[in-house]
Amino acid sequence: MTLQLTMQSSELSSDELRSLEDMRTRCAKNILLSTSLAGSGHPGGSLSTLDNLLVTYGCMRHDASDPGMDERDRVIMSIGHVSPGVYATLAEYGYFKEDDFLTGFRRTGSGFPGHVERIVPGVEWDTGNLGQGLSTAVGLAHGFKIQNKPNRVICFMGDGEQQKGQIIEAIRFASKYKLDNLIVVIDRNHLQICGTTEEVMPQSVRSLYSTNNWDVQYLEDGHDQNAYFQTFSKAYRKSDGQPTVIVSRTTMGKGISFMENIAKYHGSPLDREAIGKAMTELGVEDEFEKWDALRQNPVDTSTIQSYKGPAVDIKAGETIVYDAKTILDNRSAYGNALLSLAEANNSGSDMRIAGISCDLEGSVKMGGFHKHSPAAYIEAGIQEHHAATMAGGLASLGLVTFFSTFGAFAVSEVYNQNRLNDFNHASVKVVATHVGLDVGEDGPTHQCIDYLGLFQNYFRSSVFMPADPNQTDHIIRYVATTPGNVFVGMGRSKMKMICKEDGSPFFDENYSFAAGKGDWLRRGHDATIISYGAVTPMVMEAWDMLIDAGHSVAILNMGSLLPIDKEAVLEAAECGVVLTVEDHHVETGLGSMVGTILAEAGKGITFRRSGVSQYGGSGKPADLYASQGLDGKSIAAKIVDMLS
């Protein structure tokens, strides 16, 4: 039976205080042992935040025997480096044996990594890059509001990390959306790696929150467990529309005399001699050798959990097929599909699909969704870093979350935020409009030509690029009903539908989109053009010219880029001539993917790549395409040249 503090009390009982004191001693010992055994890690901050961690877990709703319980409160550790403190605390509360933690900490494959990861039972979110945790917590808190659930969210932060700009974005958002189910605890020890926070970068932490209408509570002695209990339990119960921050004045290295207020213990473990002294100060046995010997044995990985996302039950709704005469932009098809999904899944107070935009609702065509499901539409302002991370928090609650803005902001600006969502299997649907040279006159800063180049660096995300509004509809319904992080990109312009040779829409009601599957728009035996997205219509134009010139050319359209259809690429290579065409940086997109597939298969064929080979200009898309050899005429000329 683990400790459960009596939240109704006005103060901690002497029994409770004694339990906490015993727990603290064991945790301090384990923090110091684990880091010294591993030869690396962060003991200073772990000791600094330990008291607040222990009381928090004693107060909040959670159950170690059911770590995935829906009703649990969520703890997000924005300071992922205090993992020894977190693991020690979770062991006390019964999530796993301290033995596993001590023998496994910071060992390859052990399940107890240096920054907290959700493979550890009880950990909710992989963190490590400072500044992102609050946005995740805000996403969870707002998600609970959307779902009308009473769960609380607690976010532990450092004081050094308050310097990160993303934090004020999250602060503002929490204030705008009145997230009184959110409690932030700041470990205010005034030390960061290179000195005091005042020396490194002066700021007023409290005014950062108070000027944005948070309830700011300051604890002069953050190690006073009773004071923290009183403040925390009051914040936990309230429903006044204000998020709470508890600024807890603590001491780095608390409890070990020679570690207190020494910045180097942020990231340095004690040496063997100092461990002995520390154990004496704690009044416990020095077990270093015992555990060091146990670490030589194979690691017990039985405690490692494999993360499962929440079950999501989403109806795909009715496919919309635009007829061959329709001229439409993919953006509008996205907006229509999103509205249709909302109609099929969001009703009354039961919201299954959420949408986030950043001051671009009209441009990304979320207006219909907003009108239908105002409670699930989120306006995040010009705060893309926060919005992208928050999307991960929302999605992890089982809300299917669409995050939409221009490609340059949804991808290029938030690369590292999307990366953390990828770590966390967060299942965010990033749908970016205004991708590629198709953006036109707004020029190179707004032309996102790196979405494939960026998403390829993750391991758990897909990239789908619709070639017309019909394929857009299929893809949006597919991603809404299929778990996983995904990027869907589209241009800005209106276009004709891609059609079969008989003139009917190619992506009609009988079409079925599948990840990792390309589509042969045309068959031919002289050469194959592999393409996707906004330039496919130009490839179709080239095909017409080539047919007239007597060339039989195949067109392979890759709606799915990640994963890519390797079999289809190798089939394309059989004709001996392959050209890739894309509205993307020529070095980092489909062309290099295809090139690598060919090289690994040992295929020595005629192969070339067309793409964006310099920053785009500011002008009409057709002119920009022509200037980079991506218009129909240039594409046809390249094939003719390759065949000659």
| Closer Cβ to its own copies, 221 or 574, answer by number | 574
Kindly identify the residues of this chain, within the stretch 41-70, that bind its own copies according to CB under 8 A: 41
- Please answer whether residues 535 and 630 qualify as being in contact, where contact means their C-beta atoms are separated by less than 8 angstroms: yes
The secondary structure of 383-433 as a DSSP string is -HHHHHHHHHHHHTTT-EEEEEEEHIIIIITTHHHHHHHHHTT--EEEEEE
CA 532 to chain centre: 25
Kindly identify the residues of this chain, within the stretch 304-333, that bind its own copies according to CB under 8 A: none
Token code pair at residue 292: 């060091």
Residue 516 found at the interface with its own copies (CB under 8 A): no
| Closer Cβ to its own copies, 333 or 380, answer by number | 380
Given candidates 86, 351, 390, 624, which one binds its own copies under the rule CB under 8 A?
Answer: 624
Q: How does DSSP classify residue 160?
A: G
Given candidates 6, 25, 332, 618, which one binds its own copies under the rule CB under 8 A?
Answer: 618
Given candidates 7, 200, 320, 570, which one binds its own copies under the rule CB under 8 A?
Answer: 200
Quote the longest CA-to-CA distance of the chain: 92
| Closer Cβ to its own copies, 9 or 596, answer by number | 596
Given candidates 25, 175, 196, 326, which one binds its own copies under the rule CB under 8 A?
Answer: 175
Given candidates 46, 166, 225, 470, which one binds its own copies under the rule CB under 8 A?
Answer: 166
Provide the minimum distance between the beta carbon of 621 and its own copies in the complex, in angstroms, as a whole number. Answer: 10
Provide the minimum distance between the beta carbon of 536 and its own copies in the complex, in angstroms, as a whole number. Answer: 22
Provide the minimum distance between the beta carbon of 443 and its own copies in the complex, in angstroms, as a whole number. Answer: 4
Kindly identify the residues of this chain, within the stretch 1-40, that bind its own copies according to CB under 8 A: 38, 40
Residue 169 found at the interface with its own copies (CB under 8 A): yes
Stretch binding its own copies (CB under 8 A), from 6-14, 17-25, 250-258, 376-384: 376-384
Provide the minimum distance between the beta carbon of 199 and its own copies in the complex, in angstroms, as a whole number. Answer: 8
Q: Give dist(CA 95, CA 192) in Å, integer.
A: 30
Given candidates 8, 257, 602, 644, which one binds its own copies under the rule CB under 8 A?
Answer: 602
- Please answer whether residues 618 and 506 qualify as being in contact, where contact means their C-beta atoms are separated by less than 8 angstroms: no
Q: How much is the CA Rg of the chain, to the nearest whole Å?
A: 28
Stretch binding its own copies (CB under 8 A), from 129-137, 248-256, 312-320, 493-501: 129-137
| Closer Cβ to its own copies, 41 or 122, answer by number | 41
Residue 241 found at the interface with its own copies (CB under 8 A): no
Q: What are phi and psi of 68, to 5 degrees?
A: -100, 10
| Closer Cβ to its own copies, 619 or 629, answer by number | 619
Kindly identify the residues of this chain, within the stretch 438-497, that bind its own copies according to CB under 8 A: 440-446, 449-450, 453-454, 456-457, 459
Kindly identify the residues of this chain, within the stretch 262-281, that bind its own copies according to CB under 8 A: none
Stretch binding its own copies (CB under 8 A), from 54-62, 287-295, 408-416, 494-502: 408-416
Provide the minimum distance between the beta carbon of 444 and its own copies in the complex, in angstroms, as a whole number. Answer: 7
Q: Give dist(CA 233, CA 183) in Å, integer.
A: 10
Q: Give dist(CA 177, CA 342) in Å, integer.
A: 21
Angle at 306 between CA 131 and CA 451, to 5 degrees: 50
Pairing assessment for the beta strands 577-585 and 527-531 based on DSSP bridges:
parallel
Q: Give dist(CA 45, CA 273) in Å, integer.
A: 21
As beta bridge partners, residue 553 has 527
Given candidates 360, 475, 490, 540, which one binds its own copies under the rule CB under 8 A?
Answer: 360
| Closer Cβ to its own copies, 331 or 474, answer by number | 331
- Please answer whether residues 154 and 76 qualify as being in contact, where contact means their C-beta atoms are separated by less than 8 angstroms: yes
Stretch binding its own copies (CB under 8 A), from 284-292, 407-415, 542-550, 636-644: 407-415
Q: Give dist(CA 418, CA 399) in Å, integer.
A: 17
- Please answer whether residues 380 and 357 qualify as being in contact, where contact means their C-beta atoms are separated by less than 8 angstroms: yes
Q: Give dist(CA 364, CA 336) in Å, integer.
A: 11
Provide the minimum distance between the beta carbon of 409 and its own copies in the complex, in angstroms, as a whole number. Answer: 7
| Closer Cβ to its own copies, 55 or 612, answer by number | 612
Kindly identify the residues of this chain, within the stretch 410-439, that bind its own copies according to CB under 8 A: 412-413, 415-416, 419-420, 423
Residue 117 found at the interface with its own copies (CB under 8 A): yes
Residue 218 found at the interface with its own copies (CB under 8 A): no
Given candidates 62, 74, 118, 164, which one binds its own copies under the rule CB under 8 A?
Answer: 164
Residue 408 found at the interface with its own copies (CB under 8 A): yes
The answer to whether the bond into 621 is cis (omega within 30° of 0) is: no
Q: How does DSSP classify residue 437?
A: G
- Please answer whether residues 66 and 133 qualify as being in contact, where contact means their C-beta atoms are separated by less than 8 angstroms: no
Stretch binding its own copies (CB under 8 A), from 84-92, 124-132, 246-254, 546-554: 124-132
Provide the minimum distance between the beta carbon of 283 and its own copies in the complex, in angstroms, as a whole number. Answer: 29
Provide the minimum distance between the beta carbon of 40 and its own copies in the complex, in angstroms, as a whole number. Answer: 5
Length of the chain: 644
Containing 37, the helix (H) or strand (E) segment is: helix 14-38
Which residue's structure tokens are 């995935």?
A: 68
Provide the minimum distance between the beta carbon of 172 and its own copies in the complex, in angstroms, as a whole number. Answer: 6
Stretch binding its own copies (CB under 8 A), from 283-291, 328-336, 477-485, 583-591: 583-591
Handedness of CA 361, 363, 366, 370 (dihedral sign): positive
3-state secondary structure 237-293: HCCCCCCEEEEEECCCCCCCCCCCCCHHHHCCCCCHHHHHHHHHHHCCCCCHHHHHH
Containing 610, the helix (H) or strand (E) segment is: strand 606-612
Residue 362 found at the interface with its own copies (CB under 8 A): yes
Residue 133 found at the interface with its own copies (CB under 8 A): no
* Dihedral-angle region of residue 348 (phi above 0 means left; psi in -120 to 50 means alpha; beta otherwise): left
| Closer Cβ to its own copies, 2 or 175, answer by number | 175
